[in-house]
Structure 1
Amino acid sequence: MLVMLASVSGAPGVSAAAVGLAALWPNGPGLVVEADPCGGVLAARFGVAQEPGLAGLAAASRHGLPSGGPARFVQPLPLGVHAVVGPGAADTCAQAVSVLSARPDVMAGLAPVVVLDAGRLYPGSPAHALLPRVNVLVVVTAGDTAHLDHVDTRLPALRAQMRSPHLGVAVCGKGSYEPREISGRLGAPVWAHLPADRWGAAVLTGRLAGPAWTRTRLAQGLRGLGAVLAALPPRQPGAARAALEVVR
């Protein structure tokens, strides 16, 4: 299963959400792949090297995934989850994402569940080329009018690039609208509400440590999101779009 998390404007915490979602995925952690063309942050946040990582995977993928599989490009993070970290330099990271976007099956074959952190899906982002291959796209957004306006204008183009019907929204922080209102406006399900939680966010960004983070409100929201995504039916090309489901 290839799950992409991305925003369309602002910085609502996509990287932290991707790490937490992978760590709390039902029946065992998924693999985080940092595919943000603007540059990776996980290596700096968690004190690991930038290589092995995305740049090396991209270079190797030009000739097909080498024997031995993806393990040589994966690093453990302190939260009990593994990651393919992106280089901090935006130009290097964008080039690696461009190479891998042309070989999406390499990304999908890294692990049974791969959580892609695509950062901000700005127009022209090389991560757009991965959309036809992903099983699920989660658009992470703040719940205020300005950010929802941006999401509303971008969703039609994102849908047009996807072959899967599974596109939904995760709303971060406080907002003025109920999930049904947001879903009705966007024509997309609200799969999760990720509350403002300084402790949970601090752990997921490498500023704090400790196993108790899995009991935070943010962790509960991410665990619920993982349960919803894991229960989605398999992608069927050409099938009608799934009925909207709103997760309260």
Structure 2
Amino acid sequence: MNPTACILVIGNEILSGRTQDVNVQYIARRLAEMGISLREVRIIPDIRPVIVSAVTEARAAYDHVFTTGGIGPTHDDITSSCVADAFGVPWAPHPETFELLEKHFAPGEFNAARQRMATLPVGATPIRNPVSIAPGFTMGNVHVMAGVPRIMRAMFEEIAPTLRCGKPVTSRSWHAFGLYEGGLAEKLEKIQDRHPDVDIGSYPFHDHDGHGGVALVSKGLDADEVAQVAQDIRQMIEKLGFTPIEGEPAHKA
């Protein structure tokens, strides 16, 4: 089986609706490409017991845990110290990171708040940050990254070559205008029953002109079986009297 993963999105700003999360989509797509099965995503607040509990549970249940958010210099950036608590180790200045950030800031600007970003769980390995210097870190199977999307993406790509991967997921899709889920559910279920190892998803859409339909996506580890399912779906669409279009619609909602 492919390695498994969980994403912990940490931040009150996500739960309040103030900030829209875009990191999950990026990580999920990259994990699929790398053959790592994303099994769970949690969005949790900046509350110490909640973060410690979530990290503790996730690292025991999955091969990889990715966290985003809460590693900046302010009082509510508590992810790093919470990970230390979850592993039962001290949270202490990391000498190499401390030196790196001290050299980065102008004299007098590396204040106590910024020094928090150089404080890591003892035993953690920094994740290089080519965008804004202050690193994330890996502790065991937990990879702690920034919440700012461009920084998170840079950090993820830094650790990607080090991750234990599996067989990449293959995906094929069709969509049809004017076809809706109620008209295909029974036939689609029969295809799914014949291919239990392939994940078949049905996604209604409407384009910008108000025209709607359904997109049907098949995903799995066996490329030949995924191709067979895609062929079955195409034939099903045609038999229902609609025109199958390969790929997903350009504009969907």
Would you say same fold, with TM above 0.5? Answer: no
The structure that has the greater radius of gyration is 2
Higher relative contact order (CA 8 A, sep 6+): 1
Q: State the TM-score, normalizing by the size of structure 1.
A: 0.34
Q: State the TM-score, normalizing by the size of structure 2.
A: 0.33
Q: Which has the higher strand share?
A: 2
